[in-house]
Amino acid sequence: MNNTVLELENISYKYKNDLILNKINLKINSGEKIALLGKSGSGKTTLISVLNGTIKPTQGEVKLFNESFEELDRKQKSKITTIWQDLRLIEDLSAEQNVNCGLLAENNFYFAFKNLLNISSFKKAHKYMKLCRLHNSIYDKKIRKLSGGQKQRVAIARSLIQESNILLADEPFNNLDPKLITTIKNLLLENVDKNNTKKSPKTVLVALHRLDLLNDFDKIIGIRDGKIFFNIKRNNLKKIHLEKIY
Amino acid sequence: MNKLKLNYTSLSFLPILVCIPLGYQLINNIHFGGFKLFQEFLISAFNPKIDNEIIITVIKRLNETILIGFFSWLVSIIFGAIFGIFSSNIFYKIFNIPNFFYHIIRFFLTIIRSIHEVVWGIILIQIYGINFSIGIIAICIPYIAVNSKVFAEQLETIDYKSFESINQINAPKFSSLLTLLWNPIINTFKNFGLYRLECSIRSTVILGLFGIGGIGTSIFLSFQTLNFRELWTYLWSLAILIILSGLIFKRTKFRTTNKVQSIFFIAIIFITILFSFSYFLYFIFNNNFENFNSVSSLFKSSSYLGLFYFLKLILETIILSLISTGIAISLPPLIIGIFNNNTSKISIKIIAFLLRLIPTPVILLTLLTFNNPSLSLAALTLGLHNAGITSKLLFTNLDSQDRRNYIAMKSLGISKKTSWLLGLFSQQAKSYLSYCAYRSDIIIRETAIVGVIGSVGLGWQLQESLSSFAWQEVTIVLIAYSSIAIVGELINGKIKNSLT
């Protein structure tokens, strides 16, 4: 049975005169935990942006659940969630309001309105904020008043609350202390295991630099100069692979 | 030889050079015929007329001013926010609408705001006759366009990445729009609302000079009868109104997280929108076009404007704008820098407040008591009034600035004036110039008011053409006005962009 959830077919992306992604072919299967490795500027963020549909590739096609991304409706597209490297939180809103933004896709306009006016208690947001070890004293604080680590966890909570099938994360462990890294890593990857019983299990792709975190992933993709150099099971990863991309 | 280096600080002082030709013409035109009147005008400021009769008139006139000023402010700020959304690129990105519409709406709003509210007022009076609601409509038309620009500029500062992240969540378009724009709109309202309210009140006063009603009409009538004590009663009561409205606005906390307050404000917004629409329809369908016989008269009436005369008027308007802008930019830092002590500071603040408070036509008429009407006098009037406004901004910025550099320089034995210039003003020069670029847009529009009184430029011609119902001439003058204002806005936009 074909359980490919996300597929890139011959994807290239050019920005001005630079070829950022070069003829990338990639299949991501349901339930896979993938680590995306590569040095800074290798194209990891661009690849994630193509995968979630933020960037339209110059060439090639992106497929989500075997359908072209372009043809999908809003609800289907919301099956992917992203934790951005630069977080992309709304600075003027509070931590809680930002986390609630993750629920905008499944709710109507009135919900957005209630969120801005703070006229309802948002239990779901609180649940995910607690999971991300965010203390309730910061719920009402504006994003600009939070520390780097707190902002990082707000961004993670906003993505997790969407309970999407596919999670893309671009260096989600930045700004976190070692203890929090373990907690957040378990939280991101736990979802995959928990939902294995579901029809469409959660799939996670994480771009990272820290090699000591690779043990929890089952597949490793190496990227360099916009090209995929290897796409292998973690057990097969050898020093030579890493030398190719770093 | 040392070369003169142009930087933001020197650029703030350089425009004062306009005072050389200005002073030359003013000295040539001086007369002492009305010096006694001028003296009387100044003395009356400390001895305003206070009796039962005038207090009743003041209350009545202030009531009208508050009504016109407040309603025009409320309508223009709400519709300004709505048009601000339509003229900001974020709206078109969220809804995937081609940029073509964005440019059309922006251009349309630029034309509307290029014509001063006094001009709108005069035109509407000619068409509909003197009417209380004309004041509100005349202010609302350009103010909606001005406010929309303010809102749009603030919305353009929204981080594009925030938009991308909301877009990636795939929320419904209206939810995304609301989430992204809510706070920037509230913040813009908090930051600019009070200033716009002050502007509305000031415009109401100026329109009052043209017979719309309110305290402006009383100011003008008492000036015409040379009753300066009465005039100052009206001016001081206007000052109290502006100060009180500022205090009330500052004390009102616009907290978006307060349920009751939020619902109350939203109710006001909806009621204002509904009321405005219904009133607009009522106004359109229930008015006889008293003097405006038909649109065809616009084409039938002939123009007697000679080309060279018309070009001279345009040139006069441009020169008037440039000289006034020069005074408005350079005079405040120069005066504040030279008289840099606490006593002088208070005096300068009071003079600046009076220059903002007294309507430009009244300043001009006062100056006419010892100077013949000329372009320089009109420019000086406009420059002084706007210097009152720019000095307020400069004071606000300087007062809130970190003074450590200034103190450090003084401790090194550097003179007080030099320390002020290098330790305080130099850090503000860039943002000050940027604001002055925006202010010069307004100065171009305001040339219409002084033109009408001071027989200078297109403003004067507009008044003449309107008085003789020469609609074709009115149209030509308005097109010329709009063109100058639009070109001015484009140039100022470029200057502002290079400064920020």
Which strands form A219-224's sheet, in the order they lie side by side? Answer: A80-83, A166-170, A203-207, A33-37, A219-224, A227-233
Query: Do A75 and A174 reside in the same domain of the chain?
Result: yes
pTM metric for this prediction: 0.81
Contact between chains at A77 and B170 (C-beta distance less than 8 A): yes
The tokens 């990272």 sit on which residue?
A208
Q: How many domains does chain A have?
A: 2
Q: Do A109 and B165 touch (CB under 8 A)?
A: no
Residue type at position B403: R
Residue A196, pLDDT score: 46
Q: Are B17 and B326 in contact (CB under 8 A)?
A: yes
CA distance A99 to A97: 5
Q: Is the CB of A104 less than 8 angstroms away from the CB of B169?
A: yes
Mean pLDDT of A68-92: 88
User: Does position B480 have pLDDT exceeding 60, yes or no?
Assistant: yes
Q: How many percent of chain A have pLDDT more than 90?
A: 52
SS3 label, residue B208: helix
Query: What residues of chain A, 26 to 55, have a C-beta less than 8 Å from chain B?
Result: 52-54
Q: From CA A39, how far away is CA A25, in angstroms rounded? A: 20
Same structural domain, A71 and A14: yes
Tens digits of residue pLDDT in A21-32: 999 999 999 889
Max mean pLDDT among A113-127, B3-17, B44-58, B180-194 falls in B44-58
* Mean pLDDT to the nearest integer, B229-238: 94
Closest to A88 (Cβ–Cβ): which among B162, B172, B184? Answer: B162
In this prediction, residue A47 carries a pLDDT of: 95
Domain count, chain B: 2
Q: Contact B178/A116, CB-based, under 8 Å?
A: yes
Predicted pLDDT at B188: 86
Residue A47 CA: distances (Å) to CA of A13, A36, A152, B369: 9, 10, 21, 74
pLDDT score for A197? 42
Of all residues in chain A, the one with the smallest CA distance to B255 is: A117
Is B3 part of a structural domain of the chain?
A: no
Residue B373 and residue B363: Cα distance in Å, rounded?
Answer: 13
Decide if B153 contacts B63 (C-beta within 8 A): no
* pLDDT confidence of residue A199: 36
Instruction: Confirm whether B39 is domain-assigned.
Output: no
Do the chains contact at A90 and B170, CB–CB below 8 Å?
no
For A116, name the nearest residue in chain B, comparing CA atoms only. B179
Residues spanned by the domain of A222 = 1-79+165-246
Which DSSP category does B422 fall into?
I
Kindly state whether residues B16 and B88 are assigned to the same domain: no
Q: Is the pLDDT of residue B64 over 80?
A: yes
Residue B6 CB coordination number (10 Å): 9
Give me the residues paired with residue A80 across strands: A166
Residue type, B494: K
Question: Smallest CA–CA separation between A124 and chain B, in Å?
Answer: 17
Asked if the Cβ–Cβ distance from A52 to B180 is below 8 Å, we say no
Do the Cβ atoms of A60 and A9 come closer than 8 Å?
yes
Task: Output B341 or B286, whichever has higher pLDDT.
Answer: B341
Hey, is the C-beta of B157 within 8 angstroms of any chain A C-beta?
A: no
Amino acid at B61: R
Q: Read off the CATH number of the domain in which B363 is found.
A: 1.10.3720.10
Q: Which of A74, A111, A117, A168 to mutate to test binding with chain B, by most B CBs within 10 Å of its CB?
A: A117
Among the partner-chain residues A52, A111, A116, the one whose CB lies closest to the CB of B168 is: A52
Which pairing describes strands A59-64 and A67-68: parallel, antiparallel, or unpaired? antiparallel
Q: Which residues form the domain of B277? A: 48-292
* DSSP H/E element including B441: helix B426-454
Average pLDDT, chain B: 85
Q: Is residue B35 part of a domain?
A: no
* Percentage, residues of chain B above pLDDT 90: 29
- The pLDDT assigned to A191 comes to 57
**Given phi > 0 = left and psi -120 to 50 = alpha, else beta, which region is A203?**
beta
Q: If you search the block for the tokens 């509407």, which residue do you land on?
A: B124
- For B422-458, write each residue's pLDDT tens digit: 888 998 888 888 888 888 888 988 888 877 776 778 8
Q: Is the pLDDT of residue B304 over 70?
A: no
Which of A54, A109, A119 is closest, CB to CB, to B178? A109
CB nearest to A118's CB, from B164, B172, B257: B257
